[in-house]
Chains A and B, each alone.
Chain A
């Protein structure tokens, strides 16, 4: 009867441990991966996103030349591949300093600073053009130069914001991310403490044969990891992220690159947890066997 009661208690504790294990993984993953700037900048490097953004900007102004008559050199003389990279990374840095509460507004300060030479370049082009045709610089002239710069700033910043933080912010979700970030340490701490408490109770419940706790821990850790890994493998095997319909190539590469990276990280972590769980199970099986042999020899 005592054994059955103990067994049921261990099963219940293991089920709770399953969920706290998922909570720990979720909280730690969110803190050290999803809400870490490095995760995003690594994808930029790996997928060569800044080059794709530069090509988008270049193609846009090459096409726009027919419409505006503003030659592409006006833009490319001040915005090169390196500047584009700095702007793309600047967008991420700005977005995360907003999420982390370091700034009150998502205003892409770094990006705007990089675009100051562009304003000078556009102004210079229009000044020279107006002089070449003896155009009187009236209000319409200054309005035109200002509108060309504003449109350029908007387009280049939109192209550089490959993770679309501005769109997410306008939908109100960055504020939600801010909230999540402010509670993330509490979540990590809480889930780790809950897991530790459950493990201690499991050890106490198996005090007569402590190695039995390894059996239950391996079941909960292994099961939760198996479930997470199963979902991740499904996402990878079906090319789920590649099916996202994102028309802009840099945004597509950034988004799918990010999701694939996060999935790969989850697969790796959970594979390690499953391996550790198997080791725990093997220890339990062999330690238990040895004990049985010794006990029967003693008898």
Chain B
């Protein structure tokens, strides 16, 4: 009888309840310890594969909100006074120092200082041998005909071209359009008078083109930020 009672003697309820909790905690702790290295490795791989500041944000929608906010802030009119004269800021190679806008051909493109294949993929490039916009001389800006300057040939005399920089806004008027061979440097050489030259290749389906098309613009308004 005593043996039978011993047989059916039940484990206390507290032990029955606490055992699963303790085992779960022990196992979780062990898993965390074992998993630290693989987790770090995995995180590194994920960062390499999908790295971007978006991963650091709480969600993609947060990033979109931030971008929207940045755009709205950019849209705000600057409360600064302007004058005809002022000082230009010399950019460094590869820096986006201006934006080029021309409503006539629906053009809005960033302008980088210096010119190479990578920069030409991002926007228009200004030859570093030419003059910084706002100074006397020839400011020469080029871009690919297949990307940003695809409609350059449509610019007509009298069309307005605006260049915005960190130091001012400069408005030009199209004076003429010319075509020249790529070895001819007449239109991209330095000049005494202030002007803006936009140029690109003449579109060619087969092979590359030796012909260049340039739009020569003269300044009509200068607004240096004070």
- Residues of A that sit less than 8 Å from B by CB: 7, 11, 14-15, 18-19, 22, 64, 66-70, 126, 129-130, 135, 140-141, 144, 208, 215, 219-220, 222-224, 226-227, 238-239, 242-246, 255, 288, 291-292, 295-296, 298-299
Contact = CB atoms under 8 A, between A and B. Distances in A.
Interface range, B side: 35 or more
B45 to A, nearest CB: 9
B76 interface: no
Contact of B206 (A66, A135, A208): A135
Interface of B: 1, 4-5, 7-8, 10-11, 15-16, 19-20, 23-24, 26-28, 30-31, 46, 50-55, 57-60, 144-147, 150, 203-207
A15 B26 contact: yes
B23 A11 contact: yes
A11 B5 CA distance: 24
Contacts of B55: 243-245
4 closest residue pairs by CB, A with B: A67-B146, A245-B52, A69-B205, A295-B8
Nearest to B205: A69
From A11, A135, A223, A298, residue with most partner B Cβ within 10 Å? A223
A135 B206 CA distance: 9
A243 B59 contact: yes
Nearest to B31: A227
A147 B24 CA distance: 61
B5 A299 contact: yes
B207 A64 contact: no
Contacts of A129: 205-206
Given A219-B20, A299-B4, A126 B51 contact: no
Contacts of A291: 8
B146 A64 contact: yes
29 contacts: A18-B27, A22-B31, A64-B146, A67-B144, A67-B146, A68-B205, A69-B203, A69-B205, A126-B206, A129-B205, A129-B206, A135-B206, A141-B206, A208-B7, A222-B20, A226-B24, A227-B27, A239-B60, A242-B60, A243-B57, A243-B59, A244-B46, A244-B54, A245-B51, A245-B53, A291-B8, A292-B10, A296-B8, A299-B4
Contact of A292 (B8, B144, B207): B8
A275 to B, nearest CB: 16
Contacts of B26: 15
Contacts of A245: 50-55
A298 B50 CA distance: 68
A251 B7 CA distance: 63
Contacts of B203: 69
A296 B19 CA distance: 26
Contacts of A18: 23, 27
A15 B50 contact: no
Contacts of A242: 59-60
Contacts of A298: 4
Given A68-B205, A227-B31, A296-B8, 14 more contacts: A11-B19, A15-B23, A66-B145, A69-B203, A69-B204, A126-B206, A140-B206, A219-B19, A220-B27, A223-B27, A224-B27, A226-B24, A227-B27, A295-B8
B206 A130 contact: yes
Contact of A223 (B7, B24, B144, B204): B24
Given A66-B147, A126-B206, A15 B27 contact: yes
A224 to B, nearest CB: 7
Contact of B146 (A7, A22, A66, A239): A66
